[in-house]
Homo-oligomer: A and B are copies of this chain.
Amino acid sequence: MIAEIIAVGTELLLGQIPNTNAQIISNALQEIGIDVYYHTCVGDNQERLMDIFKTGFTRSDIIILTGGLGPTRDDLTKETVASYLNLSLKVDKYSLGKIKSFFARRGKPITENNYKQALIPEGACTIENKKGTAPGVLLNNDGKVIVMLPGPPTEMEPMLKEVVIPYLSQRCSSTIISRVLKFYGIGESALEEELKDLISQQTNPTIAPLAKMGEVTIRLTAKAKDRMTAQNIIKPVEDEITRRVGDFLYGFDNDTVEETVAKLLFKLNKTIAIAESCTGGLMAHKLTNIPGISQYFERGVVSYSNRSKQELLKVKADTIKEYGAVSEQTAKEMARGIRLTSDTDIGVSITGIAGPDGGTPEKPVGLVYIGYSDSDSEYAEQYFFNGERIDIKERSVNSAFHLVRRMIKSLGD
């Protein structure tokens, strides 16, 4: 079955917002084995929308429209689809009741144009919108499935995942599932070399490597009649890959390295403190995005000035004088200092030159030292990163989390 996605809204064509709905819907359809062949955005214009819908209805089996379901005159999606299919619009009482009580709760009278939100094409089913007033629409016509969902992603996404995807997957004869393996510390070509026999023989599952910002991922995708069969097709290939290059594997699917580090801290009951210079608090921010981390993360210090490195981290004035604030020696003393002053199991530090200014021929922009300290070991690694100030901050923090991950794992051994 071929699907296409039509986003309706002039704000998309003005570039005011990105069309994230198309990505979310495509991803969800791909997982149930439905191929998406086209995305289209069109403005709040009935004639052009009609044209686009007509093309979609002619070439695809499933047409998912987003946006244009609201109360204003600009909102034309249901009207246009109904008109193309020669269907009348009728009031959906349940939706109207919801809209009325929405206004009643706010103590406001319901305005005339809000009735419009409760109109749906005859013969269609509504999809309840728990986060807003405009219901979605599900319609079968001439063997095709037409779905209309509201534009705001927070409203659209639950309706997609709770109703549309389960409905469409019933109609599919096969399931596609993907498993992403995430690697760090091995290049794309080295990884492909290790797996080249598997890659050259691939059919089901397919094996697709992808390199991105210092990381390499492998996506295994299997197609089968049901989810469990697909999982059983992936399993032996995943096991074989793990056997060969598992040392570099740090996570699966949407795992982030900070989540992996947090899970290891939870599991091994280790506490951590972070001393950052050039990354300015980004590492602490990322780690503290994880719920429950407050039991394991004791403190962070953003020691931007030399004085703060000395006062808060006990870095020696002589070390900074002799080697500089951006040096292996300072990184080590920062890591040791934050660990000892905070009395944690692990101390980690980042010091470098994020630019755009401040670089010298000896210490260019992008030079970063990452320090690590626990009761058994202490060292610092040197890195050179490319990019803008924010890229250097991101890459430094990413590398620091990977360093901690490697080191904590050995603490657990």
Contacts and interface: CB of A to CB of B under 8 A. Distances in A.
Given A15-B30, A298-B308, A285 B291 contact: no
Interface stretch (A72-80, A163-171, A299-307): A299-307
Contact of A48 (B37, B52, B312, B389): B37
Nearest to A40: B40
Interface stretch (A20-28, A142-150, A399-407): A20-28
Contacts of A288: 278-281, 302, 304, 354, 393
Contacts of A28: 15
A55 B48 CA distance: 13
Given A22-B41, A26-B14, A300-B301, A282 B280 contact: no
Interface in A13-45: 13-20, 22-30, 35-43
Given A14-B26, A37-B42, A305 B299 contact: yes
Contacts of A55: 55
Given A37-B42, A289-B389, A289-B390, A342 B308 contact: yes
Contact of A15 (B14, B26, B341): B26
Contacts of A42: 37-38
What is the total number of copies of this protein in its complex? 2
B312 A301 contact: yes
B281 A285 contact: yes
A13 B39 contact: yes
Contacts of A285: 279-282, 285, 393
Nearest to A25: B15
Given A285-B282, A288-B280, A299 B301 contact: yes
Given A26-B14, A312-B312, A292 B357 contact: yes
A209 B30 CA distance: 38
A309 to B, nearest CB: 9
Interface range on chain A (Cβ under 8 Å from partner):
35 or more
A39 B13 CA distance: 7
Given A39-B12, A287-B280, A312-B299, A20 B18 contact: yes
A17 B30 CA distance: 13
Contacts of A183: none
A319 interface: no
Contacts of A307: 298
B13 A37 contact: yes
A291 B393 CA distance: 12
Please report whether the interface of chain A is mostly helix, strand, loop or mixed according to DSSP. mixed
A261 interface: no
A369 to B, nearest CB: 17
B304 A302 contact: no
Given A281-B281, A289-B390, 12 more contacts: A15-B27, A38-B41, A39-B40, A278-B288, A280-B281, A281-B285, A298-B308, A299-B301, A299-B302, A299-B304, A300-B301, A300-B302
A41 B43 contact: no
Contacts of A35: 13
Contacts of A357: 291-292
Contacts of A52: 38
A57 interface: no
A342 B310 CA distance: 12
Contact of A291 (B38, B41, B282, B355): B355
Nearest to A299: B308
A81 interface: no
Contacts of A43: 37
Nearest to A41: B39
Contacts of A173: none
A194 interface: no
A75 to B, nearest CB: 16
